[in-house]
């Protein structure tokens, strides 16, 4: 919760309104990204779940504005997007 304390009150209010509508998996992915930005693959490894459970949740969180692309990096010889919270 410490990171959320650093955001402005409007963003915090918006997140608190959206949070109850998130699925359990969306909340877990959001919390994992809140702690440290990651690519889908890195996030799947960190959470110890299959990537096909991570990628759709990241997309859903991007569509509602909670997650955004932070930067790109090379991972296993490929360029990947690294996601982080947008609040």
7: its two tokens: 């955001």
Write out the two tokens for 64: 């509602």
Instruction: Name the architecture of domain 2-85.
Output: Orthogonal Bundle (1.10)
3-47 confidence digits (pLDDT tens): 444 455 566 666 677 778 899 999 999 999 988 999 999 999 999
Question: Among the listed ranges 3-7, 33-37, 54-58, 61-65, which one has the minimum average pLDDT value?
Answer: 3-7
Name the residue with tokens 């947008």.
86
Tell me the domain boundaries of the chain: 2-85
Read off the pLDDT of residues 13-23 as tens digits, 9 standing for 90 and up. 666 777 788 99
The greatest distance separating any two alpha carbons of the chain, rounded to the nearest whole angstrom, comes to 41
DSSP state of 38: B
Segment (H or E) for 72: strand 67-75
């Amino acid at each position: 919760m410490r990171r959320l304390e650093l955001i402005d009150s409007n963003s915090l209010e918006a997140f608190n309104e959206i949070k109850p509508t998130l699925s359990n998996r969306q909340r877990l992915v959001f919390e994992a990204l809140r702690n440290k930005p990651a690519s889908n693959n890195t996030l799947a490894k960190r959470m110890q779940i299959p990537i096909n459970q991570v990628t759709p949740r990241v997309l859903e969180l991007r569509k509602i504005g909670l997650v955004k692309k932070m930067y790109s990096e090379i991972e296993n010889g490929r360029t990947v997007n690294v996601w982080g919270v947008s609040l």
